[in-house]
Amino acid sequence: MEPSAHFRFCPACGGEAQGPSPRLVFSCRHCGFVYHFNAAAAAAVFLLRGDGHALFIRRAKDPARGRLAPPGGFVDIGESIEQAAHREVREEVGLELTGLSFLCSRPNHYLFRQIDYPVIDMFFVADAVDAESARALDEVEHIVWMRPEAVPLEEIAFPSMQSALTYWRERRGAAKG
């Protein structure tokens, strides 16, 4: 990502950007304002019920509308990754979770309204409390309970999620063997 692709004018003084930056930093030559481009943080949860099936949502909105994903979303300012994981699961499928444990992180790109946002996706595994009460809520077309090993990777919304699901499957397989 080239900073000049996002900032044509300085957010502080309005001065026109002057050529590409050698790093992921915007520096205004007019007023000295400096902006470091960093990844946004997101949390997603592979949520299990007692029979070993995991909950996946079908995304109701772009990007990746209609594709499968674990419940999750962006971390709000002032919120921990774990708090975001709990909140997103409540908002998207109406469930509480227990036993939240970190699985892995993966870089991602989230194309929204023609802007490519760099994201670091952090994945967790947890158990669903009262799994039968799960329902499609905010930005969710519907929910699907599937054995993690049976989920077609090509139906997963983002490459970061495909990678995390593959990693989780490998860890589950190693634990069984």
Q: In this predicted model, what pLDDT tens digit does every residue of 53-69 receive, in sequence order?
A: 999 999 999 899 999 99
7 class by beta-carbon count within 10 Å (0-12 exposed, 13-18 middle, 19+ buried): middle
104 class by beta-carbon count within 10 Å (0-12 exposed, 13-18 middle, 19+ buried): middle
Percent of the chain with pLDDT over 90: 71
Conformation bin of residue 60: beta by default, left when phi > 0, alpha when psi is -120 to 50: alpha
Per-residue pLDDT reduced to its tens digit, 4-36:
566 788 999 999 877 666 667 888 889 999 888
E strand map for the chain = 25-27, 34-36, 40-48, 54-59, 68-69, 72-74, 96-112, 115-129, 140-146
The CATH code for residues 40-176 is: 3.90.79.10
Per-residue pLDDT reduced to its tens digit, 116-134:
888 999 999 999 999 999 9
* The pLDDT of residue 23: 66
Locate CATH 3.90.79.10 in the chain: 40-176
* The pLDDT of residue 113: 79
CB of 144 closer than 8 Å to CB of 58: yes
Task: Please give the single-letter amino acid code of residue 51.
Answer: D
pLDDT above 90: residue 102: yes
Cα 33 to Cα 19, 25, 154, 173: the distances in Å are: 15, 10, 43, 51
* The pLDDT of residue 153: 97
